[in-house]
């Protein structure tokens, strides 16, 4: 059985292909697309148990990486409510990516302790070229969730500038959409710079893009339901510039059952392209490119007596991407447990797509 610390010291393991599982590992799924997954194993902070959901950016000749870092496992108390052990919620760490498996200079983006859970960062550049970071502050499983006594009761997007020491400064809660509504949930925004104007890929259904100036852009995206069905669907990566198009990765989730009829939450990732002039969808994948896999092993969380209570979700989720000489580097988190880089030719993704006929 997989217990709380299953992934803590398993970085040296490579899955043996026994052919006994219907699911494929993240390694195999990357290879099926003509690419390779490399797990990040070097330079991770010793005080962190699980590192996942990374984002990437190139800035001033350096490759930066930021990710969600979970110091402690969850614990379930007598009423089956769960919290982070020792009141240490997830944090966001930042460092430089030396190669596809090595980080140097890892540290938290903010030095002061906090009670919120910091989650799922994404880099972006403002029109003047400054490097910024967005992330989510959440009451999820933290001691901040105390029945409406605080500034907010649900997830909120935080944005801040990264200074010369790679520390987050000038952080704000943008007054956009429902982000300052105490009870509303806001997350999975993707800031990007288009024609020297800041935009936000805000949602998939409908495909909504907020603009620094002017009214939001809303595009009919129902064709994407060929892949997602009616599942809850979210933005994944900042739009990737292909010249005349943007490449966008997105994800959705639903409940599934394993062979023992135990349910688990499964995530899927796919992609589409947008015309850079109209933001209309031009091409799309009709099937998932990646899916969360039981073959990558899910972490069981237990009660105080060691009895299994709940599992982490099954995920292969990209939160960042770089395009270099037609090679795509996707930074992905796997099963909320570990992370790595999938490298593959971008044409291998585009060839999976169907053109949209207007």
Q: Which band of pLDDT confidence, cut at 50, 70 and 90, is reported for residue 4?
A: very low
Residue 101 within a domain? yes
Residue 77 within a domain? yes
What's the mean per-residue pLDDT of the chain?
90
Token pair, residue 92, equals: 């966001």
DSSP result, 102-131: EEEEEEES--S--SSEEEEEEEEE-TT--E
Q: Domain of residue 126: give its range.
A: 26-355
Q: Say whether pTM exceeds 0.95.
A: no
Indicate the range of 19-33, 139-153, 156-170, 335-349 predicted with least confidence. 139-153
What pLDDT is recorded for position 160?
Answer: 96
Structural domain count of the chain: 1
Q: Read off the pLDDT of residues 169-210 as tens digits, 9 standing for 90 and up.
A: 999 999 999 999 988 999 999 999 999 999 999 999 999 999
Phi-psi region of 5 (alpha: psi -120 to 50; beta: other; left: phi over 0): alpha
Residue 7 within a domain? no
- Of 122, 211, 192, which Cα lies nearest the Cα of 160? 122
pLDDT of 15 strictly over 60: no
What pLDDT is recorded for position 7?
Answer: 44
Residue 12 within a domain? no
More confident position, 62 or 72: 62
pLDDT of 54 strictly over 90: yes
Residue 136 within a domain? yes
Residue 18 within a domain? no
Q: Read off the pLDDT of residues 289-338 as tens digits, 9 standing for 90 and up.
A: 999 999 998 888 877 777 888 889 999 999 999 999 999 999 999 999 99
CATH number at residue 311: 2.115.10.20
Query: DSSP secondary-structure letter at 293?
Result: -
Q: Read off the pLDDT of residues 96-142 as tens digits, 9 standing for 90 and up.
A: 999 999 999 999 998 888 888 899 999 999 988 899 999 999 887 66
Residue 11 within a domain? no
Token pair, residue 257, equals: 């059952």
Residue 4 within a domain? no
């Amino acid at each position: 059985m997989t217990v709380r610390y299953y992934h803590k010291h398993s970085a040296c393991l490579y899955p043996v292909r026994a052919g006994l599982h219907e699911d494929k590992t993240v390694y195999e799924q990357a290879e099926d697309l003509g690419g390779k997954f490399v797990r990040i194993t070097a330079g991770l902070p010793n005080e962190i148990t699980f590192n996942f959901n990374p984002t990437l950016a190139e800035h001033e000749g350096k490759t930066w990486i930021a990710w969600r870092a979970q110091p402690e496992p969850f614990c379930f108390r007598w009423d089956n409510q769960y919290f982070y052990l020792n009141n240490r919620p997830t944090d966001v760490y930042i460092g430089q990516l030396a190669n596809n498996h090595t980080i140097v200079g890892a540290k938290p983006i903010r030095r002061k302790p906090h009670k919120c859970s910091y989650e799922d960062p994404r880099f972006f550049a403002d029109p003047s070229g400054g490097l910024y970071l967005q992330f989510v502050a959440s009451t999820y499983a933290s001691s901040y969730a105390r029945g409406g006594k605080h500034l907010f009761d649900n997830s909120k997007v935080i944005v801040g500038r990264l200074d010369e020491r790679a520390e987050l400064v000038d952080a704000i809660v943008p007054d956009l959409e429902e982000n300052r509504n105490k009870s509303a949930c806001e997350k999975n925004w993707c800031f990007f710079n288009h024609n020297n104007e800041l935009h936000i890929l805000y949602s998939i259904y409908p495909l909504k893009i907020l603009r620094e100036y002017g009214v939001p852009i809303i595009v009919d995206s129902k064709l994407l339901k060929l892949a997602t069905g009616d599942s809850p669907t979210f933005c994944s990566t900042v739009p990737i510039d292909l010249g005349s198009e943007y490449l966008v990765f997105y994800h959705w989730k639903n409940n599934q059952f394993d062979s023992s009829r135990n349910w688990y939450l499964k995530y899927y990732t796919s992609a589409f392209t947008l015309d850079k002039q109209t933001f209309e969808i031009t091409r799309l994948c009709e099937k998932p490119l990646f899916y969360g896999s039981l073959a990558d092993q899910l972490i069981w969380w237990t009660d105080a007596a060691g009895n299994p209570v709940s599992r982490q979700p099954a995920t292969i989720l990209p939160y960042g991407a770089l395009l270099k000489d037609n090679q795509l580097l996707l930074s992905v988190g796997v099963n909320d447990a570990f992370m790595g880089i999938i490298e593959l030719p971008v044409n291998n993704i585009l060839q999976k797509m169907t053109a949209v006929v207007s």
